[in-house]
Amino acid sequence: MSTAVVTYLLIVMGGIVRVTGSGLGCGVHNDWPLCNGALLPSAQPTAIIEFSHRWIAALVTLLVVVLATSAWLTQRRHRRLVVASTVAAVLFVVQIVLGALTVKYRLPGGVVMIHLANALLLLGVLVYVARFSTATGTRSAQPGLQRRLQQLTLAAAGATYVLALSGALVVERGAGAACAAWPLCGDGLQVPAGGLAAVNVVHRVVAGIVVVLVAVVMVSVLRRAAGASRFRVAALPVIAVLALQVAAGALAVELELPAAMRALHIALASGLWALVLLVAIAARAAVSHPAAAAAGSSPREALRTPIGAASL
């Protein structure tokens, strides 16, 4: 579990780097992995932020290596865990390369977008590993979790991923300030025909659709899995984070996009993706392997892993 948590922190820190303009805080002369030619950063806030981001990345590197190595050495009979851990390692190597390219070519927009997309995929794979590393023992079935609902949870997870990327596009294009009001883009009902305002409005439309979809799916999960504490533990935080995300987005606009609110918005978006995906994975397991669906497992039991706490 620790790898997934620290990877989440890495994504959040990356968002802070982006909204504070600290991406080149350690120099513009291809200094990576140094910071302005030195091993330690200067007292400049942008340098400290960027350097902190790199140290968190180093910690994730260690954890991912431990995870993949542990899976290959001790969990070979669990092919699913081995494959997922290997995929996580590959995605992280790609993430390192993209990070280096981002610095080398001075934050090209396309690379920044791919960087975030890959980071979210990495987080998703680690959530998958954390969830399925606990799939041991025989537990009661959940007949209420129908295959249709399982498909809806997967759709909700995919939609949440798209929403996060659409928000990143707003940041990458500098379109956050293009609409000075919320939820509409001005005082009237007019829809922008193009430009940065159109990018902003598209994100808001996507957000509206995703909010409704995720809310409906999570309520359905709560109703149809009323006896399964595992699903309630996973679905209730989704609804809470979803509400916070909407509020953070509105406040960010009303307060004229302060860096702190934008960073919070990014943090909530990444957390929402991980939580919705966790529900989707649990629902899939309940449909595909009913005996593995837990009717009374605690949150601690749901995240315990035979690989070892350090490897997750």
Model confidence pLDDT, tens digit, residues 203-256: 888 999 999 999 999 998 888 765 566 677 788 899 999 999 999 988 888 887
| Mean pLDDT of the region 43-54 | 84
- Count the neighbouring beta carbons within 10 Å of the beta carbon of residue 120: 23
Do 103 and 210 lie in a common domain? no
Output the average pLDDT for the chain: 79
Do 163 and 41 lie in a common domain? no
**pLDDT at residue 75, as a whole number:** 80
Where does a domain end: 87, 109, 137? 137
Q: How far apart are CA 80 and CA 86, in angstroms?
A: 10
Q: Give the residue with greater pLDDT, 142 vs 93.
A: 93
Residue 252 structural domain: 140-296
Where does a domain end: 81, 106, 137? 137
Model confidence pLDDT, tens digit, residues 138-197: 444 455 557 788 889 999 999 999 999 888 888 777 767 777 777 777 665 556 656 787
**pLDDT at residue 133, as a whole number:** 72
Q: Is 219 contained in some domain?
A: yes
Q: Is 312 contained in some domain?
A: no
pTM of the model: 0.81
Residue 35, strand partner residues? 38
**pLDDT at residue 74, as a whole number:** 84
Q: Give the residue with greater pLDDT, 92 vs 45.
A: 92
Q: Is 308 contained in some domain?
A: no
Nearest-10 Cα torsion for 198, 204, 208, 210: 100
Q: Which of 241, 229, 271, 264 is nearest to 140 (CA)?
A: 229
Q: Is 302 contained in some domain?
A: no
Do 280 and 147 lie in a common domain? yes
Do 57 and 182 lie in a common domain? no
Q: Is 309 contained in some domain?
A: no
Do 71 and 161 lie in a common domain? no
**pLDDT at residue 309, as a whole number:** 34
pLDDT confidence band for 302 (50 / 70 / 90): very low
Percent of the chain at pLDDT > 70 equals: 78
Do 252 and 110 lie in a common domain? no
- Tokens 């809470």 locate to 240
Q: How far apart are CA 178 and CA 160, in angstroms?
A: 23
Q: Is 310 contained in some domain?
A: no
Q: Is 159 contained in some domain?
A: yes
Do 162 and 19 lie in a common domain? no
Percent of the chain at pLDDT > 90 equals: 29
SS3 3: helix
Q: How is 241-308 classified by DSSP, letter by letter?
A: HHHHHHHHHHHHHHTT--HHHHHHHHHHHHHHHHHHHHHHHHHHHHHH-GGG--SS--HHHHT--TT-
17 contact partners, CB below 8 Å, separation of at least 6: 23, 25, 49, 50, 53
Do 116 and 160 lie in a common domain? no
Do 144 and 292 lie in a common domain? yes
Q: How far apart are CA 98 and CA 116, in angstroms?
A: 10
Do 278 and 249 lie in a common domain? yes
Q: Is 306 contained in some domain?
A: no
Q: How is 68-87 classified by DSSP, letter by letter?
A: HHHHHHH-TT-HHHHHHHHH
Where does a domain end: 81, 104, 137? 137
Do 109 and 180 lie in a common domain? no
Do 14 and 127 lie in a common domain? yes
Tally of domains in the chain: 2
